[in-house]
Chains A and B, each alone.
Chain A
Amino acid sequence: MGSRLTKQRVAAAGLALGLLALTACSGSSTGGGSSTGESDEVTITVGNQPDDNQPEQLELFNAQLEAFRELHPNITIEAEITKFDPQTFNAQLSGGTLPTTMTVPFTHVGSLIEQGAALDLTDHIDDDEIFSSLNPALNTISQDTEGSRYGITVQAYTFGLIYNRDLYEQVGLDPDSPPTTWDGVRENARLISDELGATGFTIATTGNTGGWTLTAMSYSNGDTIQELDGDQATATIASPGVETSLQFLRDLRWEDESFGSNVLLETADLNTAFAAGDIGQYAGGADVYRNLVTTFEADPESIGIGPLPQSPDGLGTLGGGSVSIVNPTATEAEAAAALEWVKYSYLQKYSDEDAAVADAEAAIASGVPVGLPQVPLFDEAGNEQYLSWIEDSINVNRDNYTVYLDSISALPVVAEPAVAAGSTYGLLSTVVQDVLTDPDVQAAEALAAAESEGQALIDAES
């Protein structure tokens, strides 16, 4: 998973946070490693403010704002509900209406860095005890090829196997032992399909999601879809790992007929069908647990999450999550203030028991499950401590995804393609759809045909 923090660094981080809390109580302020001077008045805008549909979350957010203002009287924060939208992001940035800081999904971080749409935060991060204590495996997401840092990971998950525990039980499978190999997934899919008439295994295929999922599966089968040598990226779409993954989907669709009849599934369609008990297994991000419960009203007890199955030469799994970035037009003082806010609003709960409990209680009041499967932002010890603080608030059965949680530290997180990730996913979605809708299309041929197109997409963006 990467290097671990030393006890000294953890202690130093704890001490720094303790001092931060102490100063908050005394009503004074501290720079906390930032370059914002005490007397420097600075005004920033922050996105991701909860809207009126989440009153408890909004209340917690406002309380955080108030506490932050007391802690940093020289920083004026104007909050707005702006969230990342790839369709409007560039226009907002160009028009000067983008907040000073907001979160963006992992998938888009690489292209935003490449476009110059995120500020280089390397100096700020290196100088800060808390930021430099973050899980190193997650830092690569917001790094460029030269190692400069452009963001702070504030939420992370990995790709896994999402399965219906009820359906597993109905066909005599042990819901506490999800398959760890793709052969096992196929066997279970066949069983569920044959005995229950439900879809044994499927994936979302529309938009870029089909390509995104195929990429995650390819990592587990030992290959990436793009190799990076310095600045030079090469498409490796036709590599054996990708072909094995595509062939797997093809076999389930046309040989086993366990893939289900609807092969043009959007993520929402997939989750609706899963929540209704029509799908036995699918490959997806573990963060879906929250949406499955809150939006699609799935029975939490029926949701099982296992690690992404691996072949013997598997590279690991694909990560997902959110990264806080800073507007590239921000001044040094604004950037420092924005990072103080990021630290306070997203990371404080991992080092401050009161903040952790308040956050968990607000989540429960909003109907959001507490104790969700996610990759620790700091180290294992810090994560355990955080979980112990919110123990009384945890309202999901974490035993249902123990295997996934246990795999997090063992299964490497492989980064997304560095160049043209979105468009390459779109291309691969087309390939996936081609194979799933036409029995005459062979996996190897479809990938070979797509590789030159994938390279053209890389060349166009390089």
Chain B
Amino acid sequence: MGWVRRPDVPNPPIRSRRMSSLTRTPGRTRGPIARVTSWWRNGGPAALLFLLPLLICFGYFAWWPIIQGLLLSFQDTNLVLESTWVGLVNVERVLADPRLGTAVENTTRFALLSILIGFPLPVLLAVAISELRRARALAGILAYTPVIIPPVVSVLLWKIFYDPSSTGLFNDVLSRVGLGPVEWLQTTTTVIPAIVVQATWSSIGTATIIYLAALTSVRADLYEAAELDGARIFRRFWHITLPQLRPVMLLLLLLQLIGVFQIFTEPFVMTGGGPANASLTVLMLIFNYAFIDGDYGKAAALSLMLAVVLSALSAVYLAATRRWSQHS
């Protein structure tokens, strides 16, 4: 941990006993009995008691189902007949499914497009709102409003906007400038961008509010100094705002990546994966395996594969951005 107690700095009185255990002299090892005794004396049982409800809840409702899901991916089961252990057969069957390639490709397109559109927008929106002299709170509320609309409602609303007929809302607007009609959700080229725009609209508020909060911690004297040096708004944004927001941006980018790789509701409600599987995502494929085909083993196997890929992606991302984060 790199913890070294400086002799001239006194320990805070409350944490002194715990810190002393952390800062013991290297080479002095203690036996298990001593460790247990120390844990007991340092209030371990009480802490455990406080943790117990949380551990039970997480264990029963989160970790145990995860373990069950893990086991399911190695079984041939419909939850009715007796399960049989099949090893990696489910994984092989998933890999042999021609829809997998389509689903992975679509999901990747969703992810890239979502990042391209959905990542910079809330930053810009938050900066714009923070620059407002009046009605800043109102602007924040308006930006956040789409988030409080139930997801299915907002998806169905946009489905109506995307009506492919010339009387559809967006097509009506386009027709006024001599364009369209566009079959937004019915062509393989426009369906994913159309869904991404809707998904961005409905989720942009959360990131905007987080960025707005982060912006309040940016030191005002930096801007003042930059202004005195003649820096215009773009330079101030580039050299002060962005570096100050960097840790939050990196975290939100990771969360957005993980979230968008699990996109389900929007394509499921809007297109059902169509047209011709053009908006089929990995999560929809998992849903189809389980609830259309009744093949729970295959669904669990693909879930496991997705979890492994997302974990690996997160690890690579964290490793790649660690240095940048630390510098900030």
Contact = CB atoms under 8 A, between A and B. Distances in A.
Interface of A: 86-87, 90-91, 93-94, 111, 115-117, 205-208, 260-264, 266, 328, 420, 422-423, 426, 429-431, 433-434, 436-438, 453, 457, 460-461
B291 A262 contact: no
B93 interface: yes
Contact of B276 (A90, A437, A461): A437
Interface of B is mostly: loop
Contacts of B188: 437-438
Given A430-B276, A437-B275, A115 B78 contact: yes
Given A116-B81, A263-B186, A436 B98 contact: no
B288 interface: yes
B93 to A, nearest CB: 7
Given A90-B294, A437-B187, A453-B98, A430 B80 contact: no
Interface centre among A207, A264, A434 (most CB of B within 10 A): A264
Given A206-B274, A207-B272, A264 B185 contact: yes
B79 interface: yes
B272 A91 contact: no
Nearest to A260: B165
B294 A262 contact: no
Given A264-B275, A422-B293, A90 B288 contact: no
5 contacts: A87-B290, A90-B79, A90-B80, A206-B274, A423-B288
Contacts, number: 86
A328 B80 contact: yes
A116 B80 CA distance: 7
A87 B290 CA distance: 8
Given A111-B294, A262-B164, A422-B293, A430 B79 contact: no
Given A262-B163, A460-B295, A433 B275 contact: yes
Contact of B288 (A263, A426, A438): A426
Interface centre among A117, A208, A262, A422 (most CB of B within 10 A): A262
A263 B275 contact: yes
A90 to B, nearest CB: 4
Contacts of B288: 423, 426
A207 B166 CA distance: 25
Interface residues of B, number: 30
B223 to A, nearest CB: 50
A186 B188 CA distance: 28
B277 interface: yes
Nearest to A262: B164
Contacts of A433: 274-276
A206 B295 CA distance: 21
A205 B277 CA distance: 12
A461 B292 CA distance: 12
B294 to A, nearest CB: 6
Contacts of A420: 293
B181 interface: yes
A403 B250 CA distance: 67
Interface centre among A117, A207, A430 (most CB of B within 10 A): A430
B275 A434 contact: yes
A87 B81 contact: no
Contact of A208 (B80, B165, B183, B292): B292
Contacts of A90: 78-80, 294, 296
Contacts of B166: 261
Contacts of B181: 261
Contacts of A430: 274, 276-277
Given A116-B80, A116-B81, A264 B274 contact: yes
Contact of A115 (B80, B276, B277): B80
B271 interface: yes
Contacts of B80: 90, 93-94, 115-117, 328
Nearest to A423: B293
A175 B158 CA distance: 36
A206 B272 contact: yes
Interface in B145-182: 163-166, 181
Given A115-B80, A423-B292, A206 B271 contact: yes
A93 B98 CA distance: 31
B91 to A, nearest CB: 14
B79 A93 contact: yes
Contacts of A436: 275
A112 to B, nearest CB: 9
Contacts of A94: 79-80
Contacts of A206: 271-272, 274
7 A-B pairs closest in CB distance: A206-B272, A434-B276, A94-B79, A437-B275, A90-B79, A433-B275, A261-B165
A430 B280 CA distance: 11
Contacts of B295: 460
A436 B277 CA distance: 13
Nearest to B295: A460
A387 B172 CA distance: 50
Contacts of A260: 165
Nearest to B271: A264
Nearest to B187: A437
Contact of A91 (B79, B187, B276): B79
Nearest to B93: A460
Contacts of B187: 437
A206 B80 CA distance: 28
